[in-house]
Amino acid sequence: MERLVAALRAARSVFVLTGSGISAESGLPTFRGINGLWRTHRVEELASPEGFARDPVLVWTWYNERKSAHVRAEPNAGHDALARLERIVDDFTLATQNVDSLHLRAGSSNVLELHGNLREARCTRCGARRAFEATGLPLDEIDHECGGKFRPDIVWFGEPLPADVWRAAQTGAARADVILVVGTSAVVYPAAALATHYNERAFVAEVNPEPTAISDRIDCVLRGTAVELLPRLLDDL
């Protein structure tokens, strides 16, 4: 913790990458943890264009349930601490893999949503957009009048990340003096590459109760949860 505090005090530019673990203490399940399955389905089965083509009702049922959980969830002290960090660092970028909008609701303003969000649905054929309400997308409204289907406005396996968001994340990571990685297993690419591939100079630290794919390649590993460690980190700064 002391080494990370010292690195942050000296930093002009900070880049943070978050994953579903930061929202675990808001009551939202992670993807690959103990409660990572949805009913009997793995994320790879549901979060892909092939999965959606196979069974759009199943995929929408999953997203409708998740949307409803996101709306009921509150940002936790980990989200709040990162919003505080943004206010005290001159050059701050927060890139999240999460689609739950909890960073925005905690007051973070410069948030790059690498995998999209659940605020809108868009048509697979004509790109028409509609709001994705807290009540969910009615399952009899998946088909769009143009012959396409509404899908969540997110990035599934095999799909590229939004180009502008990705570019901003890459440059934010490349110019950072400190890279802080919170609550991600770091197995999903290209997001995981932001921690280790674009900057050989930055001090890279991880906050996670479990070892991850990058733990043995970074400068500092803080074993604990986001709610335990991030507020302490901010208090020590």
Binding-site ranges for ligand BJW (CB under 6 A): 19-22, 24-25, 30-33, 36, 43, 47, 97, 99, 115, 154-160, 183-185, 187-190, 207-210, 212, 225-226
Nearer to ligand BJW, 147 or 224 (CB): 224
Token duo for residue 186? 């770091």
Tell me, what DSSP letter sits at residue 26? G
| Residue sitting closest to ligand BJW (CB) | 21
- For ligand BJW, which is the closer residue by CB, 158 or 216? 158
Nearest CA among 155, 39, 173 for reference residue 97:
155
Catalytic residue, chosen from 70, 103, 115, 144, is: 115
Q: What is the DSSP letter of 20?
A: G
User: Does residue 144 carry a catalytic annotation?
Assistant: no
DSSP 190-234: TTTHHHHTS-SSSEEEEE-SS--TTGGGSSEEE-S-HHHHHHHHH
Distance between CA atoms of 144 and 202, rounded to whole angstroms? 47
Considering just the CA atoms, what is the radius of gyration of the chain in Å? Answer: 18
Residue 145 CB, nearest distance to ligand BJW (Å)? 26
Strand partners, 205: 180, 220
* Stated length of the chain: 237
CB of 79 to ligand BJW, least distance (A): 11
Question: Which pair of tokens denotes residue 17?
Answer: 């990458």
In the complex, least distance from residue 147 CB atom to ligand BJW, rounded to whole angstroms: 23
Taking CA atoms, 154 is separated from 100, 102, 146, in Å, by 11, 16, 21
Query: Given CA atoms 96, 98, 104, 107 in this order, what sign does their dihedral have?
Result: negative
The catalytic residue positions are 115
